[in-house]
């Protein structure tokens, strides 16, 4: 390592584990010389972005020389109307990733503890580590968050607890009864962050949003995103609901103009495209049932999901299966990065994409037998 960097850079950054994104289609084209490729690795909406969002985005291209609205006024007003939350309690960020980083920058001092499920979204660990916080990782129980164990992990040094609901990569939820018990006992000095990136896909009546706890006197932030069901991943825009005091504190560390104009108008339009939202939900339900049936026919176990992806056990080395699928132009996500060396996480795609994945998986596993 360079002597200057080693001696002058913040020591905490050398504890960081680089984020592992889904493999880009362009990279597979370059590496393998393939043209016909489907990507089922990053939980993107297979229908693409809302048509209304595309039209709105096109309308502001000619204004790229003008700085965006730093307060995201119109978007906050629409979110306020839809979710019955005051505008001064709403945060908008450059993806929910930025919001998670801002939370860490606002609340964490070196040595502060952060309680998080394991495995779950890696950004919780990343943002805490950047701030030299201590990550307390609580293993899942039956592929779901173990709220009892997470509660026991909280102490006087705990600043933040992350609840990913539905959880990534497993797609499981914790129920209203479970969250109610947790929130009743969580100490008042702890900030509870609900990450609800996939909540629009949930069809289980026992699900509860973190929004229900914003009026209980608890310190709560509810993070959501336009990257998943709204199909705006490339524009990088997420939002959060919290208290006025917490929002004000986070805004102190937020860069001006952090959300671009194209993202703002596209998100605003996407919120009103109910047809696209419902079509995305329907496609996901249909694809989920098809994949369940096919995996069961193949004798493979999987985790029933409340999101737009399925975590499945191939019974083989997931890296080997991943590479073989890649050669057939099918990109998925390996489970070893989450601590499951035989698992894959596959995004639920279109009917054609799901069928292609199953056919490729059958061939690959058959050749590995």
pLDDT of 183-202, one tens digit each? 999 999 999 999 999 999 99
Give me the CATH topology for the region 3-48+275-368: 3.90.1150
**Alpha carbon distance, N-terminus to C-terminus of the chain:** 44
In which residue ranges of the chain is CATH 3.40.640.10 found?
Answer: 65-271
pLDDT of residue 13: 84
State the average pLDDT for the chain: 96
pLDDT of residue 2: 85
Give me the CATH topology for the region 65-271: 3.40.640
- C-alpha pair distances (Å), 183 with each of 74, 90, 142, 180, 282: 32, 21, 21, 5, 32
In which residue ranges of the chain is CATH 3.90.1150.10 found?
Answer: 3-48+275-368
Q: Is 94 exposed, middle or buried (0-12, 13-18, 19+ CB in 10 A)?
A: buried
- The share of the chain scoring above pLDDT 90, in percent, equals 89
**Comparing 20-29, 110-119, 343-352, which segment has the lowest mean pLDDT?**
20-29
pLDDT of residue 18: 74
What would the mean pLDDT of 278-301 be, rounded to a whole number?
98
Kindly give the interhelix angle for 274-297 and 351-368, rounded to the nearest 10 degrees: 20
The token duo for 311 is 């975590």
Going by pLDDT thresholds of 50, 70 and 90, the confidence category of residue 50 is: very high
Residue 369 pLDDT > 80:
no
Q: 331 and 23 in contact (C-beta within 8 Å)? A: yes
- The share of the chain scoring above pLDDT 70, in percent, equals 100
Residue 110 pLDDT > 80:
yes
Q: What secondary structure letter does DSSP report for 175? A: B
pLDDT of residue 348: 98
């Amino acid at each position: 390592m360079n002597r200057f960097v080693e001696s002058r850079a913040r020591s905490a950054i050398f504890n960081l584990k680089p984020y592992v994104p889904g493999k880009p289609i362009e990279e597979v084209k370059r590496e393998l010389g393939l043209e016909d490729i489907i990507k089922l690795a990053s939980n993107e909406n297979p229908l693409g972005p809302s048509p209304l969002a595309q039209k709105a985005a096109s309308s502001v291209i000619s204004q790229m020389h003008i700085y965006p609205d730093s307060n995201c006024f119109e978007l906050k007003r629409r979110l306020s109307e839809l979710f019955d939350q005051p505008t001064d309690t709403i945060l908008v960020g450059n993806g929910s990733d930025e919001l998670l980083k801002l939370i860490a920058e606002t609340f964490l001092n070196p040595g502060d503890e952060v309680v998080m499920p394991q495995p779950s979204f890696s950004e919780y660990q990343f943002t805490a580590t950047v701030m030299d916080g201590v990550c307390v990782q609580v293993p899942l129980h039956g592929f779901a968050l173990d709220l009892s164990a997470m509660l026991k992990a909280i102490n006087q040094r705990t600043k933040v607890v992350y609840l990913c609901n539905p959880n990534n990569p497993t797609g499981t939820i914790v129920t209203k009864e479970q969250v109610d018990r947790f929130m009743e006992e969580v100490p008042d000095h702890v900030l509870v962050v609900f990450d609800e990136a996939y909540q629009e896909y949930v069809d289980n009546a026992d699900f509860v949003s973190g929004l229900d706890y914003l009026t209980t006197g608890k310190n709560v932030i509810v993070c959501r995103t336009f990257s998943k069901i709204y199909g705006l991943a490339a524009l990088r825009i997420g939002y959060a609901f919290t208290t006025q005091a917490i929002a004000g504190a986070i805004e102190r560390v937020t860069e001006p103009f952090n959300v671009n104009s194209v993202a703002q108008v596209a998100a605003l339009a996407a919120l009103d495209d109910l047809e696209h939202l419902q079509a995305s939900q329907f496609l996901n339900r249909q694809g989920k049932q098809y994949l369940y049936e096919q995996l069961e026919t193949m004798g493979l176990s999987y985790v029933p999901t409340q999101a737009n992806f399925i975590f499945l056990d191939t019974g083989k080395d997931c890296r080997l299966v991943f590479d073989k699928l890649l050669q057939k132009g099918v990109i998925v996500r390996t489970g070893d990065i989450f601590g499951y060396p035989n698992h894959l996480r596959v995004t639920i795609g279109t009917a054609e994409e799901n069928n292609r994945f199953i056919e490729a998986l059958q061939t690959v596993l058959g050749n590995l037998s």
